[in-house]
């Protein structure tokens, strides 16, 4: 995998190159997303394939709490751009396609399963609410 560029995202700015965002402040600092965050870094690469691979490497690092140990600040935790860059560079040096690709696929399946389960939980909560509202508790 080739080099990437990381810089602080400015809201409203658009990017031509393939890119994704990493949350920089709060307890979820390090969380990658394809949609922009207010307080985030943007990572740009040369191809969609590289963006996809780097996105899932970041997702693995976030899920494994690798960013959490690098948080600074006592009131609002944040992660420094240099910390993110050095961690990603170290992971890219250790990148072996077959080793990471299995993890990418497993994590993608888990993310899809989480979405399905969250949808099911929302449906159950709505059903429970409707069930309780269907009783006429204020009968005369």
**Residue 53: its pLDDT value, please?**
85
pLDDT bracket for residue 106 (50, 70, 90): confident
Task: Give the model's pLDDT for residue 98.
Answer: 67
* Euclidean distance between CA atoms 35 and 65, whole angstroms: 21
Q: Judge residue 8's burial from the number of C-beta atoms within 10 Å of its C-beta, 0-12 exposed, 13-18 middle, 19 or more buried.
A: exposed
Contact predicate 88/60, CB 8 Å: no
- In the predicted structure, residue 1 carries a pLDDT above the cut 60: no
> Is the model more confident about 38 or about 97?
38
Please check the confidence at residue 110 and state whether its pLDDT lies above 60: yes
Neighbours of 25 (CB within 10 A): 16
Condensed to tens digits (0 to 9), the pLDDT of residues 112-129 reads 999 999 999 999 999 998
Q: Please enumerate in sequence order all residues whose Cβ is within 8 A of that of 91, keeping only pairs 6 or more positions apart, or say none.
A: 57, 61
3-state secondary structure of 109: helix
- Name the percent of the chain lying above pLDDT 70: 92
pLDDT of 2: 61
């Amino acid at each position: 995998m080739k080099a990437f560029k990381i810089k602080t995202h400015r809201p409203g700015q658009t990017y031509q190159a393939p890119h994704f965002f990493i949350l920089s402040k709060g307890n979820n600092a390090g969380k990658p997303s394809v949609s922009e965050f207010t307080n985030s870094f943007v990572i740009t690469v040369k191809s969609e394939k590289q963006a996809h691979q780097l996105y899932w490497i970041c997702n693995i690092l976030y899920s494994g709490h690798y960013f959490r140990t690098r948080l600074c600040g006592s009131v609002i935790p944040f992660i420094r751009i240099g910390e993110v860059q050095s961690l990603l560079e170290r992971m890219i040096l250790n990148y072996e396609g077959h080793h990471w690709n299995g993890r990418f696929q497993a994590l993608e399946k888990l993310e899809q399963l989480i979405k399905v389960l969250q949808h099911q939980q929302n449906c159950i909560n709505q059903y429970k609410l409707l069930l309780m509202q269907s009783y006429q508790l204020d009968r005369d």
